[in-house]
Amino acid sequence: MKKFAVFDLDGTLIRWQLYHAVADQLAKLGHFNANDYEAVRMARMNWKKRDNQDSFKTYEHQLIALVDSAITHISPTVLIETSKTVLDEYKDQTYTYTRNLISKLKQNDYMLFAISASHTETVELLANYYGFDDFGGSIYEIQNDKFTGKKQVLKRERKPEYLKELVVKYGLTYKDSIGVGDSESDIAMLEMVEQPIAFNPTKLLFDHAKAAEWKIVVERKNVIYELNSGNGSYILA
């Protein structure tokens, strides 16, 4: 039975958030109300200024609400073309650690999965570019070549279920399985693998990883810090 590794994408492989980048491009194309988008932009600036510990969640919730309110007026073709534009800009803006890990695992005959809450159209493009064997993303329902407004978001509780489906689909083993994620939304997925890696983790993921004695990796500029648990503390590898 083959081994597998599963990766989150936004902030784990790619240095920015694909969902956010697609939204920005849609705004440039005039698909959002200008005042509503300006409110989202201001929320993003508050996050960048670290106004409070919940500023990123506030910004993200506003952004999602904006996209959801406009999605029925955006054609699937426009979303795909927008995703292609975003991927052309961001596909090579990756973290060295995860990019090299993907290359190494391919050489070791691992099956590779990408699981993200971004639009499945965007996830598919990036997964194909990096040679993932399968992928999962959030699905926005389409009828008569239009988005209906209904969606199936690949949320944190859905990620482990989807991963299990992939493992069964391909007849894989959990032995030596690897998972890489950067936020608390990846915890349930990471708990399924033998070798979870918290990469540039949020505070909540960092605290969980420490308690569970998971490997923690931090990449800053051109330096990679690998922290392994040992004797109740972490050791710089």
Tokens (6 digits) for 71: 């999605």
User: Is 114 among the domain residues?
Assistant: yes
Asked if the model's pLDDT at residue 17 lies above 90, the reply is no
pLDDT-based confidence at 16, cuts 50/70/90?
Answer: confident
3 state DSSP class of 157: coil
Does position 230 have pLDDT exceeding 80, yes or no? no
Percentage, residues of the chain above pLDDT 90: 84
Q: Is 126 inside any structural domain?
A: yes
pLDDT range class, residue 229, cuts 50, 70, 90: confident
pLDDT in tens, 154-194: 888 899 999 999 999 999 999 999 999 999 999 999 999 99
* Residue 198 within a domain: yes
pTM: 0.91
**151 found inside a domain:** yes
Classify residue 129: in a domain, yes or no.
Answer: yes
Residue 58 forms part of a structural domain:
no
Give the domain extent around 118: 4-15+91-236
Q: How does DSSP assign 47-91, residue by residue? A: HHTT-STTHHHHHHHHHHHHHHHHGGGS-HHHHHHHHHHHHHHHT
> Among 153, 162, 183, which residue's Cα sits nearest to residue 68?
153
Residues 209-229 have a mean pLDDT of 93
DSSP conformation class of 213:
T
Cβ distance 177 to 195 under 8 Å? yes
Residue 61 domain-assigned (yes or no): no
The domain that holds 228 is classified in CATH as 3.40.50.1000
**Residue 237: pLDDT over 70:** no
Handedness of CA 157, 44, 209, 13 (dihedral sign): positive
Using DSSP's 3-state secondary structure scheme, residue 101 falls into: helix
CA distance 49 to 24: 19
Domains contained in the chain, number = 1
Predicted confidence band of residue 14 (pLDDT cuts 50, 70, 90): very high
66 inside domain: no
Looking at residue 106, its pLDDT comes to 97
The per-residue pLDDT for range 73-85, each reduced to its tens digit, is: 999 999 999 999 9
On the question of pLDDT at 51 being above 80, the answer is no
Q: What was the pLDDT predicted at 76?
A: 95
